[in-house]
Amino acid sequence: MSEDKQKKNQKKSQKKKKHKKKYRAFWILIRLQVLFLILVAAGLGWYFFGGYAQKVSALQQEAKKLVRESNEDTFRSVQTSLVYDANGTLVSTLKGEKDVYYLDYEDIPPYAAAAMVSIEDKKFYSHNGIDVKAIMRAAKAMLQNGKVTQGGSTITQQLARNIFLNHDVKWERKIEEMFIAVELEKVYSKNKIMEFYLNNVYFGNGYYGIQAASKGYFSKEVKDLDLSQIAFLCAIPNNPSLYDPVVRIKNTIKRRNRILNQMHEDGKISQDTCKKAKSQEIVLNPSQKTKNDYVETYTYNCAIRALMAEDGFEFRTEFASEEEKNAYQEEYDLLYSECQKSLYSKGYRIYTSIDLNMQQMLQATVDSGLAEFTEQTEDGIFTLQGSAVCVDNHTGYVKAIVGGRNQNLPGYTLNRAYQSYRQPGSAIKPLIVYTPVLERNYTPDTVVSDVKTEDGPSNAGGSYEGNISMRYAVQKSKNTVAWSLLEELTPQVGLEYLKAMNFARLDEKDEQPASALGGFTNGVSAVEMASAYAALVNDGKFREPTCIMRITDAQDNVILETQNEEKEVYKVNASRMMTDMLVSVIQEGTGRGLALNSMPCAGKTGTTNDNKDGWFVGYTSYYTTSVWVGYDMPRELPGLSGSSYPGNIWRSFMDQLHQGLPPVDFLPYMDEQKAPLDNQEYTTEVSPQEGIPEPELPEGGMAPEGEVPVDPAPGF
């Protein structure tokens, strides 16, 4: 075949291929279009015949009605929530201050509106209430990341949600929010919408509106703030919990810088202005607030968590990975912030278990018990602090809570009773060691060995007494015995009991024998200790600590009612045996001298190494009270032990509390020698013996308790 003919054939072949490709592409396009039409038709059918068209139409009509009936007063009104104690006495009121601090658009600094547009809604002045591209970007990001990572809501949508809707994540709410936003844009000007938004958006800590926030955080009117301070405030509303200036100011400053960068990119400020504003130090100057005391902060926290639970949120303390923990915390912060907002605007009636008479009694006892320590920080706060919590054993509800010494300082201060986590020392032993082993063929008379081992801890004073009864080991708080028993039980098993009682700051590194002596990575709170000991006197049944009994709306319609359900953590007989041994602690052990005047009582001391933390947790059949004493920044306090300042505070308060109450003995336990427990998984190395002679007390009548072999971590 000639070369020319070959070339002709090649050209024909190439033409045929191109022709086939052309038609193949054509038919693929046709098929895709047909498929698209089928999907659209299916979607429309699902929309109309599935009842969604009717729902959406109803939502649109509802949106039109809400906006049509609105006026400027709609964006100024707020309802006051009220908090009551167990006797019906008013504890506090919660009211947003937007009606007092409302600003007209002309009085709002231009930088505030510019900052919000740059960071929240760049197309605010051009869209009709919704930004379709922003919604598509948010949907795409959600599909890529498996979760919501960016918002698609415009400023108008946020206003619609804040004023007219709740914060459900249902599709109906989102659709109605968009309809309301579109209707708002038809009725009100852009400047009016911005005015409404900046006067209604939540800035955390009870502040609604930018003027209230400026007064609250800087004690200034917003017109007197500079660019850096305005951008700082505008950083908060995106997530008032994550960007809370009081507790997470570093986060707030990071977002302030991001806002300033966005304003520069949008041409609203120069590069030099941006750089100068970012370098400026932010110094908060909170406004003076009248407060009741620590009961308010705890009540608000409990109320918010109760509302979160009612909304379906599941609280967790364990996570498979750091990413899972971070995702949970992000979800927690968002919902916490939303429920916190509602306290200041929904007109709730919050009924609590707090008894203000008991509260004042506990506060006065803590104050007088530490009165000799007068050293203060530069802010005027006592350096030596204490916290205490009292739980009603019949109900499991918190009756009184003290988060520090009372100094009548402005605003709310740290509530150490539930916000500080400190090493518990030997006070943890009954919870993580002794009650668990009493479920496993141990009794108060079981012989255990008090000897120094190569890797084990020392006893206070360096003395070891060989074979002793477990009752005596608890009385004298023997570190060696608690350590070896937890090794036998395993730290993992011991910690499971604390996890079952929702101890919040446990760590994987706590799975070590040192936990038997309270050597935790983070520590425990006074609320946790009180509720855990209350489980012992309640026959091993744990009840989640709270002070919220019910929440109603302004018309007294019940929104939620707490049940305080019981969960079995320890077995009945083990709990009763533990109580009997803790009675011995007060009668003959490290708590000797702390017995109440006319009421059977049980308790345990706790002291960390170098006398940095002192605990006493004890109970009667009526009440359980935990007391902690120490410095906010841990340091040694000579003479501090569980039986000194904490024990004396406990005894003084409990004696007052039980005046006039008839004495009630603790329930007896079953003799394990006659009726052994079913669970025989763990056995003693030395068989139980009767009639073991108890060593005599050292001179002075009280043996010092053991020390924790590791330095306690800071309590925050």
What amino acid positions are annotated as catalytic residues?
Answer: 120, 426
Helices 491-500/479-489 angle, 10° precision: 90
Half-sphere exposure (Cβ direction) of 15: Cα atoms closer than 13 Å? 6
Distance of CA 354 to the CA centre of its chain: 20
- What is the DSSP code (8-state) at residue 79? B
What end-to-end distance do the CA atoms of the chain give, in Å? 91
Instruction: Give every CB contact of residue 524 below 8 A, 6+ residues apart in sequence.
Output: 421, 422, 423, 424, 428, 503, 505
Backbone phi and psi for residue 133, each to the nearest 5 degrees, phi listed first: -65, -40
Instruction: Give every CB contact of residue 348 below 8 A, 6+ residues apart in sequence.
Output: 81, 82, 94, 303, 342, 551, 552, 553, 554, 559
Q: Which tokens hold the place of 425?
A: 């020392």
Reduced 3-state DSSP string for 554-587: CCCCEEEECCCCEEECCCHHHHHHHHHHHHHHHH
Other beta carbons within 10 angstroms of residue 223's beta carbon come to: 12
Instruction: Give every CB contact of residue 56 below 8 A, 6+ residues apart in sequence.
Output: 175
Assess contact for 422 and 627: CB atoms under 8 A: no
Cα-based torsion angle of the residue sequence 536, 541, 545, 547 in order, rounded to the nearest 10 degrees: -110
Assess contact for 422 and 385: CB atoms under 8 A: no
Assess contact for 544 and 501: CB atoms under 8 A: no
Assess contact for 92 and 204: CB atoms under 8 A: no
Residue 420 burial (CB < 10 Å; 0-12/13-18/19+)? buried
Place of tokens 């922003």: 134
Q: Which tokens hold the place of 466?
A: 């060989």
CA 173 to CA 175: how far, in whole Å? Answer: 6
- What is the DSSP code (8-state) at residue 624? E
Hey, is 156 helix, strand or coil?
A: helix
Report the greatest alpha carbon distance in the chain.
124
Other beta carbons within 10 angstroms of residue 215's beta carbon come to: 19
Other beta carbons within 10 angstroms of residue 303's beta carbon come to: 25
Half-sphere exposure (Cβ direction) of 570: Cα atoms closer than 13 Å? 35
Stated as kind and residue range, the H or E segment containing 119 is helix 110-120
Backbone phi and psi for residue 144, each to the nearest 5 degrees, phi listed first: -70, -40
Hey, is 81 helix, strand or coil?
A: strand
Hey, is 168 helix, strand or coil?
A: coil
Instruction: Give every CB contact of residue 635 below 8 A, 6+ residues apart in sequence.
Output: 612
Cα-based torsion angle of the residue sequence 173, 176, 180, 182 in order, rounded to the nearest 10 degrees: 120
Assess contact for 302 and 326: CB atoms under 8 A: no
Place of tokens 């009675």: 583
CA 458 to CA 503: how far, in whole Å? Answer: 27
Other beta carbons within 10 angstroms of residue 696's beta carbon come to: 6
Backbone phi and psi for residue 693, each to the nearest 5 degrees, phi listed first: -70, 130
Half-sphere exposure (Cβ direction) of 135: Cα atoms closer than 13 Å? 11
CA 626 to CA 613: how far, in whole Å? Answer: 13
Assess contact for 389 and 417: CB atoms under 8 A: yes
